[in-house]
């Protein structure tokens, strides 16, 4: 088994991150991770993943976090996607054609976690959520996200159980202390990006929330 954090940002590729990429591998090891995924905001890799993997002899896979009209999506297995591509269905066709995979990132952040942070009641129902087209286009759902409230995580796991979908976990780290707070456990060993994409396609993984109960509060990281 291998434990990877599938969603991390650094100050090199994401302007809103405070993580120094030079500290990232050490942080991952401290968190008990066997590998990590860089997912900077945008439509192409930065090349940082390959540099870190080579320099520190640690599993570092690079993807990207792209925005679509159906929500943010983590993309792996491609160096880039066209900058003009915004429709999720077009992205799916392009990524699939080029051998990549897609994970829905924090799909209910605005409706559940944000609502709870504002002390209002989430309005989305599990029945309505299950019918959303996004979940027919992705290879997995980031059920455990480091910024998500406990209720959001539970909702995602319930949705994936009902739809028969695979779950992932990622810290969505923008601060050093977040690395590894959510992760994905893979059944088989992963040596490189090719292994990683193959395991995602086979569905041999599951997401896990490694946070303390206090860290599952919707406003914890802002405190």
Cα–Cα distance list, 52 to 23, 84, 94 (Å): 10, 29, 28
Residue 24 CA to residue 4 CA, distance in Å, equals: 13
Residue 43 CA to residue 178 CA, distance in Å, equals: 24
* pLDDT (average), residues 98-123: 95
For 2-36, the pLDDT digits (tens) are 999 999 999 987 878 899 999 999 999 999 999 99
The H or E element that residue 8 is part of is strand 2-8
What is the per-residue pLDDT for 17?
Answer: 87
- Strand pairing category for 59-62 and 35-38: parallel
Give the tokens for residue 148: 């998500």
Q: What are phi and psi of 158, to 5 degrees?
A: -65, -45
For 153-205, the pLDDT digits (tens) are 999 999 999 999 999 999 999 999 999 999 999 999 999 999 999 999 999 99
* pLDDT (average), residues 109-118: 95
Cα–Cα distance list, 114 to 9, 55, 123, 141, 172 (Å): 20, 38, 11, 19, 15
The H or E element that residue 72 is part of is strand 71-76
What is the per-residue pLDDT for 8?
Answer: 97
Domains and CATH numbers, the chain: 2-222 (3.20.20.140)
Burial of 195 (0-12, 13-18, 19+ CB in 10 A): middle
Q: Which of 24, 2, 21 is nearest to 11 (CA)?
A: 21
Handedness of CA 36, 41, 42, 47 (dihedral sign): negative
Give the tokens for residue 143: 């059920």
CB 104 within 8 A of CB 118: no
The pLDDT-based confidence of 106 (bands split at 50, 70, 90) is very high
Q: Which of 57, 52, 50 is nearest to 19 (CA)?
A: 52
Residue 143 CA to residue 57 CA, distance in Å, equals: 29
What is the pTM for the complete model shown? 0.96
- Strand pairing category for 205-209 and 35-38: unpaired
pLDDT surpasses 80 at 51 = yes
Handedness of CA 62, 66, 71, 77 (dihedral sign): negative
């Amino acid at each position: 088994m291998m434990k990877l954090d599938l969603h991390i940002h650094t100050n090199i590729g994401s302007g809103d991150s405070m993580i120094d990429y030079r500290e990232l591998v050490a942080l991952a090891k401290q968190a008990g991770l066997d590998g990590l995924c860089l997912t900077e905001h945008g439509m192409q890799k930065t090349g940082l993943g390959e540099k870190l993997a080579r320099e520190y002899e640690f599993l570092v896979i690079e993807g990207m976090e792209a925005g679509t009209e159906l929500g943010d999506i983590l993309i792996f297995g491609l160096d880039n996607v066209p900058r003009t591509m915004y429709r999720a269905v077009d992205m799916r066709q392009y990524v699939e054609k080029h051998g990549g995979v897609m994970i829905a990132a924090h799909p209910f952040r605005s409706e559940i976690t944000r609502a709870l942070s504002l002390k209002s009641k989430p309005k989305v129902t599990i029945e309505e959520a299950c019918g959303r087209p996004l979940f027919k286009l992705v290879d997995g759902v980031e059920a455990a996200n480091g910024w998500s409230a406990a209720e959001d995580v539970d909702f995602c796991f319930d949705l994936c159980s009902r739809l028969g979908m695979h779950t992932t976990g990622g810290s969505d780290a923008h601060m050093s202390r977040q690395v590894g707070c959510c992760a994905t456990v893979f059944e088989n060993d992963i040596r490189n990006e090719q292994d990683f994409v193959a395991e995602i396609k086979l569905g041999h993984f599951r997401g896990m929330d490694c946070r303390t109960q206090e860290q599952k509060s919707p406003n914890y990281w802002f405190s």
